[in-house]
Amino acid sequence: MVKRLPVFDGYTIDARLKQFRRVSSHDGIEFVDFDSPKGDLLLERFVKIIDASTDAGRKLLISLWD
């Protein structure tokens, strides 16, 4: 089974590895850990848009801190 990872602000979110990732033809691959200053800001903005009233939203929130 193929699982599609969520995307936010041009970054793919890997909750398992606790990273945001972006691929650019100019800059290559950028990895931003959740616990870095930039990752913290991205995570804060991403959490604000998740709809926690849905089952999928709740599961996504849980996976971010699991």
pLDDT tens string 19-42: 999 999 998 999 999 999 999 999
Tracing tokens 């991403």 back to the chain, one arrives at: 46
* pLDDT score of 65 more than 90: no
CA triple 46-40-6, angle to 5 deg: 35
Cβ neighbours of 59 (radius 10 Å): 11
Asked whether 31 and 21 are in contact (CB, 8 A), the reply is yes
Q: Which residue has the higher pLDDT, 63 or 37?
A: 37
